[in-house]
Amino acid sequence: MSDVLLTLNAGSSNLKYSLWHLPDLISIEQGKIEFKPDKDLNLDAALIQLMDHIYENYGNRSVRIIGHRLVHGGTQFYEPTLLNDNIEEQIKQLIPLAPLHLPSELAAIGFIARHYPEIKQVACFDTAFHKTQNSLYQQFALPNEYAKNGILRYGFHGLSYEYIASVAHEFIGVQHRPRLIVAHLGNGASMCAMSDLNSVTTTMGFTALDGLMMGTRCGELDAGVVLYLMQHLGLNDQQIESILYKQSGLLGVSGISSDVRELEASNDKNASIALELFAFRAAQKLAGLIPALGGLDGIVFTGGIGENSAFIREKILSHLAWLGIQLDVNANQNHFSTIHTANSLVGIYRIPTNEEKMLATHTYAFLSQ
């Protein structure tokens, strides 16, 4: 008999999972189940399918503990947390802070609690890594009463940034670690400025909508645009939410796709414009993080786009040559870990992230509790 640890990342239309052998945390399987909330295969059905799959294919193993990735911990949760009814109720109060993410994540937690009450569950929050940020960098220029009500810059992709920080000594030269900017570029995209591998500030703010241009999200937007959409074009909150989260970004600008691979392969001028805008906005945001660090020693690219698109990496860095960056074109094209030249004043690295491993590591710590 041997045991397994399961990690879950429940979205509104898919369920990502990973299985880990215990006690050595060796990855057994990773996958994703797509579903439609209003069809027969909804989240509950996807979870039933997953648990049946586990018991059918790993019959001599038992799921001992489950770790859930939760996008938002508000001001209450800064550490991985063993779940119970009281904790779940507290997390439910945070739904207005992440209305597109937390409902699905909480639904998965509730399903497991009802059907598999013997399995421990742990919540790991994507905002937790940013607890080291100075309060100055967390504040919006709004009346103070709103900050007291939790309207702050939280930052996200924390599990990814935490993983990069945990393996920095393996990949990043010691001279490039003190003042580091990590670019997590994927369908969701953000950057984190790190001082001695601790979060100082990020491009994302109150929600996962802010900052960089993304696959289908607009990123930073003049708030007046939202008012205009509402007051002059007559759009309601659901229509505006759909535009900002699902119809914008690379998809909206290109009119073709949110997938960088498809856009790079396209001859359509709008595909080129979308990629150019994505790279420029990324460079602009990266440069804007430097004052919080007082300089820059290294840059790390990670995430689906950051790891796999040599074109995007080169385009972003071309806007930052004034920093003394020298890209090794061959190393970049071949996706090496180190992609700067010997004469570059800033270290440039490509490091695959592993949010699931970070989630599994945190969850495993609760196994004996």
Structure tokens at 199: 């979060």
Q: Which is catalytic among the residues 3, 126, 237, 268?
A: 126
Q: Cα separations (Å) of 72 from 93, 94, 304?
A: 11, 7, 21
Instruction: Say if residues 76 and 152 touch (Cβ distance below 8 Å).
Output: no
The values of phi and psi at residue 200, to 5°, are -105, -50
222 catalytically annotated: no
CA 255 – CA 273 distance, rounded (Å): 11
Instruction: Say if residues 355 and 126 touch (Cβ distance below 8 Å).
Output: no
Question: Which residue, among 67, 158, 20, 157, has the nearest Cα to 359 in the 3D structure?
Answer: 67
Question: Which residue, among 200, 198, 218, 222, has the nearest Cα to 208 in the 3D structure?
Answer: 218
Block residue for tokens 């990629």: 275
Q: Cα separations (Å) of 10 from 4, 14, 17, 64, 110?
A: 19, 6, 8, 19, 12
CA 250 – CA 273 distance, rounded (Å): 9
Any idea how long the chain is?
369
Catalytic residues: 126
